[in-house]
């Protein structure tokens, strides 16, 4: 693959990520080489390292390295190689097995200057948010979480705060994912409308696409929450407090009712959220992501209410492109802060922004990959048994 391929603008797909690994731009601990299953259509899964540091507070190391900051703020450290329990509402910093050397692109590009526009961004994986685990990546000399500046050379660290359940974690587990992009190729509102006309992005329950007049577009594509349902239909879950720990390695292991209270559809189609309680809902619309784009659920807007409406943000190419053509719902992780808050069926909850891929990925979500949440409706994390 020629170096000129990296000059293409957009999100780097799986084949370019693999080449960056071969070139030494993406690196890992020598004892833990990057595995094939870490590569997703538009991102790389990041793995927990060997140690965890319990710290007094969160931080951003704008004028120093994370390691230097840890010397001041770390209360104690412990090994993750045989597994360890992280307690709710405690802050942990975990060096990741992966590291970056974006400066190497400058060395190998010679006279090409595209390396100046290459950045990276991280986000929690879907299962991480559904377990109410708050995470964000930190880099040296940075004043922003989750973002990696051009030319960055150094380690990656993950801040981890379990909010509801104690969790058992282990070296090599994947809580976050990283996208690498050349320039910002986020498309405009008019381009979103044009894309929806040619490849319907949002669908009704029936699988029929929303009309162009029905979709809400303003600096991204808006979606809403589903609270309507048939009698005895579960339309959401509320997390129980003071429960046993969840071992992230145990897939399909835990009984839902041991950890969650089901929320059933009501005739009036509204719910009042309790302050600081954690809820799982699904989007009213079903969505699809075309192969030449990637999407991101962007941070909540406090102007829309005292809500945090999600943790996980990345939607890969091919998400929702099911054989039946009905798409997939977005699962919403919701918490109301400070005051009880009323939400109603069809209430606008979040927006998605779309960004072009530099190339179409060689593998797509749920089509060429085994994907946990393809074609999903309301669905909890993969650690819970399917009813």
Closest CA to 216 of 350, 320, 356: 350
Angle in degrees, CA 363, 368, 373, rounded to 5:
105
Q: Residue 93 CA to chain centroid, in angstroms?
A: 18
What pLDDT is attached to residue 313?
83
Mean pLDDT of 31-59: 97
Mean pLDDT of 138-156: 96
Asked if 43 and 316 touch (Cβ cutoff 8 Å), the reply is yes
Identify whether 376 is part of a domain: no
Residue 376 CA to residue 29 CA, distance in Å, equals: 35
Q: Looking at 182, 210, 228, which one is the last position of a domain?
A: 182
Identify whether 387 is part of a domain: no
Phi-psi map region of 286: left, alpha, beta (phi>0 left; psi -120 to 50 alpha): beta
- Residues 211 and 324 placed together within one structural domain of the fold: yes
Total domains in the fold of the chain = 2
Identify whether 295 is part of a domain: yes
pLDDT digits over 180-205, tens only?
999 999 999 999 999 999 999 999 98
Identify whether 166 is part of a domain: yes
- Residues 255 and 332 placed together within one structural domain of the fold: yes
Closest CA to 181 of 232, 233, 118: 118
Considering only residues 113 and 135, tell me which one the structure prediction assigns the higher pLDDT: 135
Asked if 354 and 324 touch (Cβ cutoff 8 Å), the reply is no
- Residues 204 and 85 placed together within one structural domain of the fold: no
- Residues 251 and 216 placed together within one structural domain of the fold: yes
- Residues 152 and 226 placed together within one structural domain of the fold: no
Identify whether 374 is part of a domain: no
Q: Looking at 158, 182, 206, which one is the last position of a domain?
A: 182
Q: What is the mean pLDDT of the chain?
A: 90
Asked if 253 and 244 touch (Cβ cutoff 8 Å), the reply is no
Q: Looking at 165, 182, 199, which one is the last position of a domain?
A: 182
pLDDT digits over 267-317, tens only?
889 999 999 899 999 999 999 999 999 999 886 565 655 566 666 689 999
Mean pLDDT of 354-376: 74
pLDDT digits over 62-82, tens only?
999 999 999 999 999 999 999
- Residues 233 and 347 placed together within one structural domain of the fold: yes
pLDDT tier, 375 (very low <50, low <70, confident <90, very high otherwise): very low
Asked if 156 and 46 touch (Cβ cutoff 8 Å), the reply is yes
- Residues 203 and 332 placed together within one structural domain of the fold: yes
Residue 56 confidence (pLDDT) above 70: yes
Asked if 208 and 200 touch (Cβ cutoff 8 Å), the reply is no
What pLDDT is attached to residue 176?
96
Domain that holds residue 204: 189-356
- This model's pTM is above 0.75: yes
What pLDDT is attached to residue 241?
86
264 C-beta neighbours (distance < 10 Å), count: 12
- Residues 163 and 206 placed together within one structural domain of the fold: no
Identify whether 363 is part of a domain: no
For residue 159, the domain's CATH number is: 2.70.40.10
Residue 156 CA to residue 46 CA, distance in Å, equals: 9
DSSP code, position 18: H
Identify whether 386 is part of a domain: no
Residue 364 CA to residue 15 CA, distance in Å, equals: 12
- Residues 255 and 343 placed together within one structural domain of the fold: yes
**Among the residues of the chain, which ranges form H helices?**
14-22, 66-73, 104-109, 126-130, 189-198, 256-259
- Residues 176 and 234 placed together within one structural domain of the fold: no
Residue 304 CA to residue 344 CA, distance in Å, equals: 13
Residue 177 CA to residue 161 CA, distance in Å, equals: 17
- Residues 34 and 130 placed together within one structural domain of the fold: yes
Residue 261 forms beta bridges with which residues? 238
Closest CA to 355 of 296, 271, 287: 296
Considering only residues 369 and 128, tell me which one the structure prediction assigns the higher pLDDT: 128
Asked if 162 and 88 touch (Cβ cutoff 8 Å), the reply is yes
Residue 313 CA to residue 128 CA, distance in Å, equals: 11
DSSP codes of every residue in 221-276: EEEEEE---STT-EEEEEEPSSPPPEETT-TT-B-HHHHEEEEE--TT-EEEEPBT
Identify whether 160 is part of a domain: yes
- Residues 215 and 341 placed together within one structural domain of the fold: yes
């Amino acid at each position: 693959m020629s170096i000129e391929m990296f000059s293409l603008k957009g999100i780097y797909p799986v084949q370019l990520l693999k080449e960056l690994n071969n070139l030494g731009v993406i690196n890992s601990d020598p004892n833990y080489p990057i595995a094939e299953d870490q590569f997703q259509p538009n991102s790389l899964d990041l793995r927990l390292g060997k140690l965890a540091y319990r710290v007094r507070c969160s931080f951003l190391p704008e004028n120093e390295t994370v390691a230097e900051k840890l010397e001041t703020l770390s209360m104690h450290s412990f090994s993750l190689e045989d597994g360890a329990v992280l307690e709710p509402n405690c802050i942990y910093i975990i060096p990741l097995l992966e590291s970056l050397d974006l400066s190497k692109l400058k060395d190998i590009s010679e006279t090409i200057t595209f390396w100046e526009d290459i950045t990276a961004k991280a986000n929690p994986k879907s299962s991480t948010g559904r377990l109410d685990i708050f995470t964000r990546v930190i880099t040296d000399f940075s004043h922003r979480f989750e973002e990696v500046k051009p030319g960055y050379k150094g380690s990656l660290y993950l801040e981890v705060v379990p909010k509801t359940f104690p969790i058992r974690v282990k070296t090599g587990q994947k809580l976050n994912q990283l996208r690498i992009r050349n320039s910002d190729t986020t498309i405009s509102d008019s381009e979103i409308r044009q894309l929806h006309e040619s490849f319907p992005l949002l669908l009704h329950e029936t699988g029929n696409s929303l009309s162009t007049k029905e979709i809400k577009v303003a600096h991204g594509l808006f979606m809403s929450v589903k609270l309507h349902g048939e009698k005895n239909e579960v339309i959401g879950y509320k997390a129980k407090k003071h429960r046993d720990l969840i071992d992230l390695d145990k897939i399909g292991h835990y009984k839902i009712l041991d950890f969650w209270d089901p929320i059933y559809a009501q005739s009036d189609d509204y719910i009042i959220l309790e302050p600081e309680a954690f809820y799982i809902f699904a989007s009213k619309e079903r969505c699809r992501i075309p192969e030449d784009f990637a999407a991101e659920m962007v941070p909540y807007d406090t102007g829309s209410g005292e809500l945090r409406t999600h943790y996980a943000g990345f939607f890969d190419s091919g998400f929702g492109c099911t054989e039946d053509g009905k798409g997939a719902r977005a699962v919403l992780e919701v918490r109301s802060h400070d005051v009880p808050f009323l939400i109603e069926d069809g209430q606008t909850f979040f927006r998605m922004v779309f960004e072009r891929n530099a190339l179409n990925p060689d593998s797509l979500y749920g089509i060429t990959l085994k994907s946990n949440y393809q074609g999903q409706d309301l669905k909890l994390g993969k650690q819970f048994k399917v009813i």
